[in-house]
Structure 1
Amino acid sequence: MRKKSKNSSNKAAEKKDLEMFLELGNIGAGHAATSLSEILQQQVDIDIPRVGTIPPDMLPKFYQSNNMPATAVYIHLMGELECHFLFIFELPELREITSLMTRSISQKECESSMESSAIEELGNILIGSFLTAISDFTGLNLISTPPMLIGAPFDAIINEFMVKLASDSGDALVFDTCFRRTGDYYAPTQLMIFPSPELRELLIRKSNEIIEDEKSDNVELICAENLTEPDDVAKSQETSN
């Protein structure tokens, strides 16, 4: 009974933390949507239908994206409280987003250099908006590296990234993001954040001082504790589809 009570307590605490990160994500997504709407001179909305903590080595299986061609924007937050950001697009979404950013009539018309520039700009806007939200939460002045573009299969991007993080890596904070504009335009992407333990704890502490309880009835919360077995990843995907 004690063990069950302890597990329930841990799950409740993790859910509360995820709701805090969701609030952080909604603030960042709101800032990014405002910036994109101004740049493109049309309404752009960014939704976050799912947020979770997932062990990095389970990410490709969770998204069923092994060997799937992808492009990522990488930004590193420097200083005492380190944080790494990966904004990942699979190929179909990459073309949709490029079309949005370049206002191209045909997706095939986009040149490689224009595509790279558009994706870097979008990654900079979205991650920069999250950095602003983190700065507002913590009161810290944050400095980040310029965005770096990475093109490789989804699992190769994750594996290379984990080598950089080495033993300091913890669970990834994953925000599924969906870009929408007027009409039937829809492009899902993934924003993955790897905060240092110190930054994660600071965010949780500060959020408890600022944010009241928020409902997340329409958002799926994925806890790392519930994804300990490979089969659990597939089950979670089946449930979300």
Structure 2
Amino acid sequence: APETPVCAVLIRCEGEFSGNVIFLMEEGEAFRLSEILISQDLGSLDDAMKEEIRDSVNAEVGNIIIGAFLSAISLLVGSPLPSTVPAVAHDMLGSIMDVVAALYGMTGDVALMSKTTLNVIGEDSEVRGTVVLVPDPDSLETLLKKLGVF
């Protein structure tokens, strides 16, 4: 739902394929994942420091997941895809997607989405997220040709 609070990790890639990749998790999932990965009590730290640590963890998880997707695309297009440092944002899903649409809607109207499930060893539950690939228009054509779509 558009009003769902989310944590978004954004990375821009350039090269033969260029575009933006966003990893989205509901805030509860992002909080739970960071708690699992930190696996220690942060009780003595103030709230701002705890939030900074959680953002750092979520940025790194997003970086790893997005990096895996970009590696696969890099293999498809046969060219390296240098990427930016991940940026983290917290907002409602609708607001995040509005920004994406405003920034990139001027040049294209296609996004590829992939649901992602993380299983953490020793944990009984899964953490779910979505990877959104927003290619630049020329790059979309390159990718679709490599995928054999046209």
Same fold (TM over 0.5): yes
Task: Give ranges in structure 2 of 5+ residues lacking alignment.
Answer: none
1:93 to 13, 26, 29: 29
* Cα displacement (A) at 1:105: 6.5
Equivalent residues in 2 for 1:1-241, closer than 5 Å: 65-79=1-15, 81-104=17-40, 111-182=50-121, 183-208=123-148
- Over aligned residue pairs, what C-alpha RMSD do you find? 2.1
* Cα displacement (A) at 1:193: 0.6
Q: Indicate conservation of the 8 Å contact 2:17/2:77, yes or no.
A: no
Question: Structure 2 CA distance, aligned partners of 1:207 and 1:66?
Answer: 31
* Cα displacement (A) at 1:169: 2.6
Task: Give ranges in structure 1 of 5+ residues lacking alignment.
Answer: 1-64, 209-241
The alignment partner of 1:168 has SS state of coil
The alignment partner of 2:65 has SS state of helix
Q: Indicate conservation of the 8 Å contact 1:162/1:169, yes or no.
A: no
Question: Structure 1 CA distance, aligned partners of 2:12 and 2:82?
Answer: 9
What's the TM-score, normalizing by structure 1?
0.54
The alignment partner of 1:143 has SS state of coil
Q: Deviations over 1:75-123 (max 9, x none)?
A: 11124532111111111111121123212479xx881111011001011
Question: Structure 1 CA distance, aligned partners of 2:115 and 2:41?
Answer: 27
Residue-pair matches, total: 142
Max radius of gyration: which structure?
1
Question: Structure 1 CA distance, aligned partners of 2:59 and 2:136?
Answer: 24
Please identify runs of 4+ aligned residues in structure 1 that moved more than 4 A.
Answer: none
Give the structure with the larger helix fraction.
Answer: 1
Question: Structure 1 CA distance, aligned partners of 2:3 and 2:144?
Answer: 35
* Cα displacement (A) at 1:175: 0.6
